[in-house]
Structure 1
């Protein structure tokens, strides 16, 4: 059972173990909820007001520093959220950036994280898209690490793993990297 509720979605960029990723908080009249999904990469950091469809609320817990922390996670209707991004004009910007990825890498250009220099060419430390994985393979990077977005999407992860295996890379589980 889902419900539509008016609220404000606050999107922000978080630095994770595998690179930066976007997360959000949804502030509504019934409470504030954490929102995590790769569809958020279509949004620029900031506040977005509108009607959102809540599919499920989940209590999540994690241990940190000898204690436990709980929070409420909201599962939104992602198709509605993608349509909302398109209405805001953000989806076209993401598609335009991904089409330019073969010539200019928008992630390293924006300086969201430190690039790794190889043979005088700048590459991002973590591949966030399949295009970036392909670029890193074409440019014969000595290692490739996957970012949060590829790891969160099973289909993208499966495609990325196939690409690096076909290119002759092998996985080092301790470092969580693919090496030639």
Structure 2
């Protein structure tokens, strides 16, 4: 990723962009289970422009939004309706600096985990697994080894079997692998190799 995060987030300004399909699927599954609203504690890892955070709050979640860009967290807070602001907590921190995550029923990581440094990834992943309550869900994305950004040493990429191994102890409810040419949000050509996942942590 050649552009700065500040430049990247500007591409979303003033646009009506839906929440990630993986997140929408996870929220729909909770609704089908009639999961009580007051028990929906969620984490948005690498919340960015806050599209997913806002969707979770609208669905009754208490959300901890985490991002390393302080300015986007301020913008996110400003964009939350006044009567919903008490549903949002923000934390300005990089993945590498996280030492714990609170117990949660949902962890959302839309296109963010690949930007964790490889040597830090497994520690971060264990934090995610440990914080999820039984019956809780993960919704998010992983980049595959054929992605055109694969030569970036500060990013993490996975083969299909490695993604499957990450979810030992989970029931995978959605797993979609995309491997195709496309464009970035700034309009640059890119080959995307992405795993889209929703998984539910097993009860035992």
TM-score w.r.t. the length of structure 2 is: 0.26
Looking at both structures, which has the greater relative contact order when contacts are Cα pairs under 8 Å and sequence separation is at least 6?
2
User: Bigger radius of gyration, 1 or 2?
Assistant: 1
TM-score w.r.t. the length of structure 1 is: 0.29
Of Structure 1 and Structure 2, the greater strand share is in 1
